[in-house]
């Protein structure tokens, strides 16, 4: 199994399984979202995403829906559904598993993410957004708005 940890848009993402392990059927990612972390509003055209909260509390926004997930709860995000994932806590991180099917998300993380240096802190280094945009186009991912934007 190829396990790697990266920082992507403020959250720590550990690739547990990817297209390299699953014949491109799915990616299994463990994400740690520090207090106040929000994903950009985005959509996946070519894969679904299932979020399973392991620790803490996550809020997932989809069109017309604000879903609070606590430990052990999950949420399925079909293809082409805009969404944002938020840690609204001022003091607690949340940890979740993400299952992307078929594979795609792990490739984005490996290509755009900043390798974790082992300090469990988000690095100050910026992402190469030109590379990120090209990979997202290839994957069918689109950022629809900045963190804080809602569908």
pTM for the whole structure: 0.91
Terminal CA-to-CA distance of the chain, rounded, Å? 36
CA-nearest of 39, 52, 59 to 136 is: 39
pLDDT in tens, 31-83: 999 999 999 999 999 999 999 999 999 999 999 999 999 999 999 999 999 99
pLDDT in tens, 113-148: 999 888 777 888 888 888 888 999 999 999 999 888
Residue 21's pLDDT is 93
Torsions phi, psi for 106 (to 5 deg): -60, -40
pLDDT band at 3 (very low <50, low <70, confident <90, very high): low
86-108: average pLDDT? 96
Domains of the chain: 4-145 (2.60.120.10)
């Amino acid at each position: 199994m190829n396990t790697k940890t990266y920082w992507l848009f403020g959250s720590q993402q550990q690739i547990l399984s990817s297209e390299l392990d699953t014949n491109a059927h799915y990616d299994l990612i463990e994400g740690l979202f520090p207090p106040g972390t929000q994903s950009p509003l985005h959509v996946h055209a070519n894969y679904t995403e299932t979020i399973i909260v392991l620790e803490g509390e996550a809020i997932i926004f989809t069109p017309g829906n604000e879903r609070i997930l606590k430990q052990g709860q999950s949420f399925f995000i079909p293809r082409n559904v805009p969404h944002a994932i938020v840690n609204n806590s001022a003091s607690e991180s949340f940890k979740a598993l993400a299952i992307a099917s078929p594979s795609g998300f792990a490739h984005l993380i490996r290509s755009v993410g900043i390798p974790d240096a082992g300090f469990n802190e988000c690095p100050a280094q910026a992402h190469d957004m030109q590379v990120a945009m090209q990979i997202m186009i290839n994957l069918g991912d689109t950022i629809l708005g900045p963190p804080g934007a809602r569908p």
